[in-house]
Amino acid sequence: MTALHDLSITELARKLRTKVVSAVELAQHSMDRIEEHGKLGAFLATDTLETLRQAQAADERIAAGDDSLLAGIPVAHKDIFVTKAFASTAGSKMLQDYRSPFDATVVAKLAQAGMVTVGKVNCDEFAMGSSNENSAYRPVKNPWDVSRVPGGSSGGSAVAVAARIVPASTGTDTGGSIRQPASFCGVTGIKPTYGRASRYGMIAFASSLDQAGPMARSAEDCALLLSAMCGPDPDRDSTSLDMPPEDFTRKLDESIEGLRIGLPKEFFGEGLGDDVRRAIEEALEQFVKLGAKIVDVTLPRTQLAIPVYYIIAPAEASSNLARFDGVKYGHRAKDYVDLLDMYKKTRAQGFGDEVKRRIMIGTYVLSHGYYDAYYLQAQKIRRMIADDFQQAFKECDVIAGPVAPSVAWHLGAHGSDPLADYLADIFTLPGSLAGLPGMSIPCGFGAAGMPVGMQLLGNYFGEAKLLNAAHRFQQATDFHLRKPEGAL
């Protein structure tokens, strides 16, 4: 018999409704696995009583005839989403033990669908990082090789799924923070079009880039979660799109015969690891067997995405994080002589090195005399990057390529060189700057047997098309079913 933690959401839903297992038993199973895999550092907060209370309520819903496939399914939330029942720290000492008086909209929507929260998962501090080593509490370790990073900033979310602790988790993607850890950990993750999912209750990093999305083992499972997560939230999030909820599972089984997959030459140039290139090329061959057509496209401003992102994102971060001053909530320095001294000591003690680095960069590029030279120019190039994609989509339906230039690197490998982390985002940043939907699907293995993810990018509101392509690929391959030995 297949173990509970190896079942998909659809399979678990079937067992819940046929009373083979209860939501309480399923929740307890996940809680047991959290303890069993504690060395991975994935979870920051749990509450067994609260989780079992939610599970009991889910069992009652199912008994009353609730037909939601998500009712009773365990989920873990990235600790960037605020929650009433669990501490919300954003991976930072600045918010250590902070309790929110409300739930983030994404958390509330999944709860309304009947999902059971088993805890909050670790992340880079305020979602700033590409390795999950910037958490103020502890780094997260990749279950495929615990000496390697899981990717970031949603590393805890990816590890919770990859280690078979939970079938699904939430993440956020600002510059690739769903797609990159999904690739490094061999799971599936999708970032929807900017504005599809409400940002209300998501602790802000860069407001024009931050977007919530699901991580799970398959495109089918991600489609189920994304359907529940998305929808307008006009009263609480001004960037929320006025689009009705959508069933992203509706096109999963459609043929991809004739699907035009664009390959940007800029994604396959110097710097891409041979092992990653080989895995992507073999996956593309599988797409061709399924009826897709490969076309060459160009995204000429790809190389500009890194400098543009690392001007715009820090600028927005310096503004968003100004609220953490020790006055209303969060950490406050114990010893100070006046208000200004309290501000200085509070922020010096509460923020980690990477957050301080980005605040200083952002404050600099927004300062008088530099705003026009840096921030304004970056915004103009951002528009050009978005235009490049629109030109490319005249020739293709989806764009494919690597998620990252390499497989997961060793913990501490980039410790003295933050630019190395930044460069790892080269393939994910363009889509984020353009606000496009993008996802990562497991497509093979590279150096040292580490997972490789293929990135699929779609045009605005093209999530269903991406999920359809990913699902058809996963029906023909088993990369998404493979798991690290430590998850057995």
> Six-digit token pair at 468?
């359809």
Residue ranges with strand state E in 222-288:
260-264
Active site residue 8: no
By C-alpha distance, which of 126, 123, 117, 124 is closest to 168?
Answer: 117
The DSSP secondary structure of 165-230, one letter per residue, reads S-SEEEEEESSSTTHHHHHHHT-EEEEPSTTSS--TTBPPS-TTT-EEEEEESSHHHHHHHHHHH-
State phi, psi for 119 to the nearest 5 degrees. Answer: 155, 180
> Six-digit token pair at 320?
């968003």
CA 295 vs CA 279, 298, 483: distances in Å: 18, 10, 32
Chain CA centroid to CA 25, Å = 28
Catalytic residue among 177, 183, 198, 240: 177
Catalytic residue among 135, 153, 198, 440: 153
The C-alpha atoms of residue 284 and residue 130 are separated, in whole angstroms, by 26
The alpha-carbon radius of gyration of the chain (Å, integer) is: 21
Is residue 476 exposed (0-12), middle (13-18) or buried (19+ Cβ within 10 Å)?
A: exposed
CA 394 vs CA 255, 385, 438: distances in Å: 21, 15, 18
Please list the residues that pair with 228 across neighbouring strands.
none
Active site residue 177: yes
The C-alpha atoms of residue 383 and residue 199 are separated, in whole angstroms, by 22
- Interior angle at CA 249, CA 16 and CA 64, nearest 5: 30
Active site residue 154: no
The C-alpha atoms of residue 166 and residue 168 are separated, in whole angstroms, by 6
* Cβ 142 vs Cβ 150: under 8 Å: yes
* Cβ 218 vs Cβ 190: under 8 Å: no
How crowded is the C-beta side of 405, counted as CA atoms within 13 Å?
A: 14
Catalytic residue among 8, 22, 78, 154: 78
Catalytic annotation, residues? 78, 153, 177
